[in-house]
Copies of this chain bind each other. A is one copy, B any other.
Amino acid sequence: MNAPKPAVILIRPQLSENIGTTCRAMLNCGLTELRLVQPRENWLSDKAIAASSGAEELLKQAKLFDSTKDAIADLQRIYATTGRNRFMVKPVVTPKRAAEEMRIHAANGLACGVLFGPERTGLENDDVSLAETVITVPLNPDYCSLNLAQGVLIIAYEWYQAGDPAEPVAMTKGAAPPASKKDLNGFFDHLERELDECGFFRVDEKRPGMMRNIRNMFERADLTLQEVRTLHGMVHELVTYRHRKTETAKE
């Protein structure tokens, strides 16, 4: 069986050396798919290649993206790694638990990705809101800032340890295929456009936070493709009906 393995997605990594050591940690644990969103340095630098210590192939095959949304478009389950509480309404799991979940997702044919933020700051809240689930590594609360590659290693290590899934837990969704992140983001774009037009975002500064809250609700719902279509339809009908009615009245 060749179940899909989680992709490691580095968002705006600062140092090419850390991309190299990330590749080494990934390959140690059998992970091979690296995605990079706006890396600051050249990930094929001599430093990066030296740091990869033989895992150079992963650097060469790394896929480059302009945005986190693009980087996760074809995936179905996203985990965001954070060191501190973001107070979003989302499950927060340990690496071990996340690894067990990802094994089950893989067995069900769902492609997973794990987001890692820039070295200095970690993930932005907008990136966290793209994930269904947050991973926080239980660490010394007085000193919990992990080096980037160390963070990747722990997730990859737990994934490897979780081994083949003993009993794939079947999701009772019938034959309904899950929505990809692209499908979901398409809906969010549609919704945001309409909410914008109708003046839902009264105060401009509150808009990003409000959109994050809205995203979080729907991310948690673990939607199927059909359900995303239904949501599109609902929004479309809600906004166009009155318009149509008035048009007809005018004729």
Residue ID in chain B nearest A167 by CB atoms: B94
Which of B28, B93, B234 interacts with A150 by CB under 8 Å? B28
* A: interface residue count bin: 35 or more
Residue pair B217, A223 in contact (C-beta under 8 Å): yes
The copy count of this chain in the complex is: 2
A210 on the interface (CB 8 Å rule)? yes
Write out the residue numbers on chain B whose beta carbons fall within 8 Å of the beta carbon of A174.
87, 89
A70 vs chain B, min Cβ distance (A): 25
Residue pair B230, A168 in contact (C-beta under 8 Å): no
B-facing residues in A101-140 (Cβ within 8 Å): 134, 137-140
Residue pair A169, B27 in contact (C-beta under 8 Å): no
- A8-16, A38-46, A59-67, A191-199: which lies at the interface: A191-199
A75 on the interface (CB 8 Å rule)? no
CA distance A197 to B234 in the complex (A): 12
CA distance A55 to B218 in the complex (A): 41
Residue ID in chain B nearest A154 by CB atoms: B157
Residue pair A164, B138 in contact (C-beta under 8 Å): yes
A160 on the interface (CB 8 Å rule)? yes
Write out the residue numbers on chain B whose beta carbons fall within 8 Å of the beta carbon of A203.
none
Which of B88, B143, B168, B241 interacts with A97 by CB under 8 Å? B168
A50 on the interface (CB 8 Å rule)? no
A sample of 15 cross-chain residue pairs with beta-carbon separation below 8 angstroms, ordered by A number, consists of A24-B147, A28-B143, A30-B139, A89-B173, A91-B170, A94-B166, A97-B168, A138-B160, A138-B161, A138-B164, A153-B153, A157-B157, A210-B230, A239-B242, A240-B242
